[in-house]
Amino acid sequence: MKRHRSILSASACRYGNGMVMPPPTSPVPRVGRPRRDEAGAVNARILAAATDLFLERGLAATSCEAVAARARVGKASLYARYAGKEALFEAVVQHALEGRSFRWQGPETRDAPPAERLALAGRAVLSQALQPVPLELMRLFMAEARRFPALIAQVERISRGRVLEVVSRALVPETPDPQVRARADAVADRFLDLTFAPIIVDALMGREGQTAAEAVDRRIVTALEVLGHEVLTDPPGA
């Protein structure tokens, strides 16, 4: 017992005789989940990197490791969010659908006659769809249609529905009559079959001559001639 007290006393004397106490060790910061805004930024980088690489190389030639490197995140961060490349591709598709690339905007057509309203709406949505980003995304999605049939069918359904809404509302901006709206939707649907669908196919096949402004205008004029009296006058109640 005496020896124990003498050792403690000696230690106290040494630090009391001018010797400097060592600085306390800094506490190790706790590693936890990132804040919500940081996690969102990481996910945005992953999706942007994956989109770029899928467009550059295709799905088969892109690895999750390459995506992580392009996004400047650890592989663990990527796999914590996506189980594999297939899940990442599905997220890229959903992200594209939610973004501006597949959000079609219609022109102001309220004071124009019906046929002109239809033509203006057709040119507007085609001009947007034929931009490089949405067109390249459509090429990517179609290339993977066999591997992800349900997902790509969803893309086609949602995209066409949005285009149809723009064209239908250009033809009949507002109506309380569901029958009038149904008729406008039917005319818009036929108009898209005659214009939007074949022109997009030509674009995906790289037929630039068929997607030039003059060719688009010719197809729109032909579609209006085929539709004839269906679009020459406003429907009752419109």
The amino acid occupying position 68 is A
Instruction: List the one residue out of 224, 227, 219, 170 whose CA is nearest residue 199.
Output: 219
Instruction: List the one residue out of 223, 233, 173, 235 whose CA is nearest residue 196.
Output: 223
State pLDDT tens for residues 33-54: 455 557 789 999 999 999 999 9
**What pLDDT is recorded for position 111?**
83
Instruction: List the one residue out of 235, 232, 234 whose CA is nearest residue 224.
Output: 232
How far apart (Å, rounded) are the C-alpha atoms in residues 144 and 162? 22
11-25, 89-103, 175-189: which range is least confident on average?
11-25
Sequence-ordered alpha helix ranges (H) in 144-177: 149-171
221 against 16, higher pLDDT: 221
- Residue 158 contacts residue 137 (beta carbons within 8 Å): no
State pLDDT tens for residues 122-175: 999 999 999 999 999 999 999 999 999 999 999 999 999 999 999 999 999 888
Average pLDDT of the chain is: 85
State pLDDT tens for residues 185-211: 999 999 999 999 999 999 999 999 999
**What pLDDT is recorded for position 122?**
95
Share of the chain above pLDDT 90, in %: 71
